[in-house]
Each structure stands twice: as C-alpha cells, then as structure tokens.
Structure 1
C-alpha cells in the first residue's frame, strides 16, 4: 500500500506540474506581446529590407503598444542575421525580416549554420520582380529582337545583375540556357551600381530589381523588354512576363517576408501573422509598398509556408541547372 501510495502521489505531482506548465504557456501566449520585439534585418541600414522592417515595426508599436527595435545584422549574404533568428528562443520576440535569399541560401551554400526548417514563415509582405532592360540606343524593343541580335554576335554582349548568386544572376543564367545565347555575366554590388552602369551604356542587358528600376521606368534612355515573376508589373501593364515572351521557368517572384524561430508556438505565429497581414493591407502601407515598386501581399502563415516550400524547390532546381554555387 505504501508503494502504491507513493506512486499515486508522484503521478499526481507530475500531473499538477504539467497542468501548471500548460497554464503558464497558455498565459504567455495569451499575453503576447508583453515586452519589446526585436526585428533582425540581415542587411545594412537604408536598404529596402531595412525600410520595410521599420515601416512594419512602427505600425506594430502603434497597434500593440510595445516597442519594436530594428537591429541590422549584415554579413555572409544574410546568413548571419538569419542564423540569429533561427537559434533564438521561440517566444515570439525575435523576428526576422527576410527576403528571397532565405530559401536560396540552402541551394547555394554547402555549409549553412541553420536549416530552412528552423524558421517559421509568418507573412509574405510584398513581392518583387526583375525587369529586363536595355539601353534605348540599342534599338531593341522586344526580347525576341534581343535574342536574335545576341545569336548573330555570340560572346560580344553582356548582361548585368545586382550580384553573384542573386535572383538576377540565376534568372539570367536560366534565360541564357533557354535562349541558347552567349552573354558575359557582369555582377555588381547591388542594384544601384548596376542601374548606373545600364544608364551609362556599359551593359547590353540588365536584370534589375523592380525597386531599383522603379524610378527609371519612364526614362527615355531605356527600353523594358520583359519582367520575371508570375504576373505583369502593375505599373507596366504592357510589358510581358518572361513566360509570355516564350521563356517559362522564371515565374518565381522575389519577396520580403517575416519569420520566427520554428520552435515558436503556433498561436503566437498566427497572432503575429494576422497583425502583419492587416498592416500590409492597410491603405497607408499598401501605398508605401507600391511607391517602392513592390506588389503588396500580406499573407497568413500557412499560405506563406506553402510559398516558401514552393520557392525553395524552384531556386534549388535553378541553381543546380545553372551550376551556381558560392562554395
């Protein structure tokens, strides 16, 4: 009887402890957020990712009454900042403002200190795309004309991108393969220098990020031949997509999105996701994103997770097909 009683008491104590733990966890989720949030931006201050993080952070502070501190943690093409969030406590207070590189990095680097599964998708904020642009002085007005010109003079033309192993580089190599043309790749340290080189006539073709290209889309020095992504660019309704131009496989959009550590409880992920989605869909944020040359989205966690998985498979196939690696 003594042994049975001790066993019973032990089980009762364990049950009480579990109940207390469960209650504390539920209370913690229900009180979220109860302290300031950290937004980790894996890139320098002043860029598009940083700007969006601060816009979202300001709105979250106003809605939730808790400060949002934006911390720029640049390094290793975003790996440093991504890793900070992947290894952070899953309490909802360390948030990643990521870009498409989150899903591209595993396909480009053999050694990454975290796994994509270590991050929980929260909300896709906005989509971007690459615009294929040429100097107007070239006389080229369609992608078909450019391909014909490149085939007539193999190895004499180039294309610019905003960096090695970026979306623009992978899209450019896929386009070269599909079109059967020989172009020299010229990578730049960002879209700003690339855009300057195109305007200066140093490039025969450039895959330019929509946010950098946006201020120049009405320029009389440039012709826009096509756009990557799954849909036409809203401000350029007459410019066809790559698929419409006869080059499928470049439908994946670039994007900005919010992530949490994968260990974060689902109720917290859902709560933050719903709030961010509402902020993105507000008239104020929608306009700000549009003015940046982006397509506002504001998805919920489950939808963003589906998109992340789809894009990870896409970029892996592109990187392998084009033999692009950073190791």
Structure 2
C-alpha cells in the first residue's frame, strides 16, 4: 500500500513541476513590460525645457511601444516634490522621472530631503548643457583673462548674474571667483530670461547663462562669449574655449537632462527602458530638436549614466560646501 502511494506520487511529480513552470512562464508571457500606461513625472511647470523634452520622448516611446506615455507636471520645493514621487513609487518601470542636474545638487543644498539619491536608478542621460560666460560687448572685454585682470584692478566693483540662487550658474560663478581670486558681487535672477535681459541692458558685467537661454543670442553684436563651462567646447561655439582651457579648471561638470526610475526597479526593465530612450535620443529627429534647443544630445545607457550621476553628486557637494551655498 505504501509502495503504491509512493509510486503514484512519483508519477505526479513531473506533472506538478511542469504545471508550475508553465504557470510561471504564462505570467511573464501575459504581462511583458510595458503592458500599461507609463507616467513620466516632470518636477517643473509645463512649457519649460524639461517638460518639452519629456513630451518629445514620450511621444516617440508611445509610438514604439504601443502604450500611452502620460507626462505629469509636479512642480514644487525646487523639484523635490516630483523627485520624491518617483523615489517612492513602485519599482515596476511605470513611473519615470525626467530630471535635471538639480537631482544631484539638492542633497548638497538642503538639510531635509524626503528621499535619498540612492532611491533613484539612472536610466539615460538625455542631453548635456553648459553655462556660457557672457559680457556686454560695450565692456571691451574679449577674453576671460581680460575680465579677471579688470576685476583684480577694481575689487568689489564688478558683478556677475545667475539664473537663480543655488543653481548651477550660481555655483559655477562662486567656483570661478575662488579659482580666479577675484571679488565680484553675485546678482541672482528668477530665471534665465530676466538674467539675459539684464545682461543685454548693461546691468551686468558678467553673466553665467544657460546655453539653451543664450542660444538665440550667441551671434548678437551686443555680447561677447568668453568661455563655456563643461568638459568640452559647445558644438555651436567651436571657437569658444572651456573654462579649463582658459586656465580655470574645476568647472568641468555639465548640466544635464536625464531619466530615472525607482531604485527597486528590476535591472532588466531599467536596461530595456534605457536602450529605448537612448535610441530615441540618437534618432535624427530628436537629435535635431535637442540641438536646436542649444543642447548636446547624449542618449546614454544606464551603466553609462550612473557614473556621471555619482561623479557630479560629489562635484556639486564640494562646490556648495566650499562656497557655503545652502538653501536652509
């Protein structure tokens, strides 16, 4: 009797194992990623560069994958609100962050951040930006060294503008002051638009202007462009040297736009999303759109973007600490 029961169980074991395998495979087959709409969280208001890029990529991603991609603007707390939504979302690939450099700067600027940088997994660096160092042509200054010499000759009389307190332009400006050993006043503006207007109006003697905002003015006869931050010359301005080439290293970090997902997202999903986004960015259509915005298209894979995030986080932390820049 016992032998019969053992024999019966032995006969059933292969069938049980097969059923389990088919069941597990069936779930995967019925629910491949993506199988439902994807949310792209933009932590800034509609109409800005981050929002524009998110919508351009969203349209292409929807067409390629046959799933709706919904862009949701969640502005607030300097971007922390939208970042936090993604950081705390389920790790299933259906909630994506379209972030900017502020993602890695915020932890260095605020004491109370509701999430950790490690709560977000890098997916793809979409594009790089840079700050252009611009002066009114009326100053007669044509090189960065000329500006430094002028500032040293009259300490405290010159100024520089940024597109906001604790922004990349502010931190780059303070870094430049330290490297050059000059005393110039910082004048923050509420965005690049007012900053550029002040520069063109002669209220500023120097301005760190985001390349996207400066792009319409790079051929203006009212300004001279002395240098560019970042690790390479800007493609639209091959004649303009970098800060490092001008003799002032330490401003090699580029601004950027990048996609992130919750850190708990399986690597297979992160890699699949990253590969698709990278392909979209490198397509002729989107590459041209980004270039026309004054950006340098990248389209990196997750494993390529991750070290950039880590390196830039350390860089901006060091800059903020050295310049004592804080938003608390």
Give the TM bin, normalised by the shorter chain.
over 0.9
Deviations 1:19-70 (A, max 9, x none): 7996577457x61111111110000111000000000001011111111111
- The separation in 1 between residues aligned to 2:243 and 2:166, in whole angstroms, is 20
Instruction: Report the Cα distance in structure 2 between the residues aligned to 1:324 and 1:203, rounded to whole angstroms.
Output: 21
Q: Which residue in 1 is equivalent to 2:115?
A: 114
2:294 match: secondary structure: coil
Write the distance in 1 (CA, Å) between the matches of 2:105 and 2:73. 20
> Residues 20-169 of structure 1 correspond to what in structure 2 (within 5 A)?
23=25, 26-27=28-29, 31-169=32-170
1:307 CA displacement: 0.8
Q: Which residue is 1:295 aligned to?
A: 296
* Contiguous gaps of at least 5 residues in structure 2: 7-16
* TM-score (ref. length: structure 2): 0.92
Which residue of 2 is the match for residue 174 of structure 1?
Answer: 175
Report SS of the residue matched to 1:231: coil
Larger radius of gyration: 2
Q: Are the structure 2 counterparts of residues 114 and 18 from structure 1 closer, same or farther at C-alpha, using a change threshold of 3 Å?
A: farther
- Distance (whole Å) between structure 1 residues aligned to residue 23 and residue 325 of structure 2: 48
What is the DSSP-based 3-state SS (H/G/I as helix, E as strand, rest coil) of the residue aligned with 1:178? helix
For residues 127-161 of structure 1, give each alpha carbon's deviation from its aligned partner in whole angstroms, at most 9, with x where no partner exists: 00000000000000000000011111111111000
The 5 A counterparts of 1:161-240 are 161-240=162-241
Residues 176 and 34 from structure 1, CA distance in 2 versus in 1: closer, same or farther, beyond 3 angstroms?
same
2:10: which partner in 1? Answer: none
Question: How far, CA to CA, are the matches of 2:255 and 2:160 in structure 1?
Answer: 19
Q: CA deviation at 1:190?
A: 0.9
Q: Could you list the per-position Cα deviations for residues 169-197 of structure 1 after superposition, in whole angstroms to 9, with x for gaps in the alignment?
A: 10000100111111111111111111111
Give the unaligned 5+ runs of structure 1: 6-14
Partner Cα distance (2:165, 2:109) in 1: 11
| Cα-Cα RMSD | 2.1
Flag as ranges the 4+ runs of structure 1 deviating above 4 A: 15-28
TM-score (norm 1): 0.93
Shift of the 22–83 alpha-carbon distance from structure 1 to 2, 3 Å rule, reads farther
Could you report, residue by residue, the CA deviation over 1:275-294 in whole angstroms, capped at 9, with x for unpaired residues?
00000000000000000000
Cα distance per residue 1:179-219 (max 9 Å; x no partner):
11111111111111111111111100000000000010000
Give 1:308's aligned residue. 309
Q: Structure 1 25/109 Cα, relative in aligned 2: closer, same or farther at 3 Å?
A: farther
2:9 aligns to what?
Answer: none
The number of residues matched between the two structures is: 316
Query: How far apart are residue 16 of structure 1 and its match?
Result: 11
Say if 1:210 and 1:17 are closer, same or farther in 2 by CA, change over 3 A.
Answer: farther
Give the deviation of 1:95 after TM superposition: 0.5
Q: In 2, Cα distance between the equivalents of 1:116 and 1:19?
A: 38
**Cα 1:75–1:18 shift into 2, 3 Å:** farther
Name the CA shift for 1:263/1:321 in 2 (closer, same or farther; >3 Å): same
Aligned pair in 2 of structure 1 residues 288, 19: CA closer, same or farther (>3 Å)? same
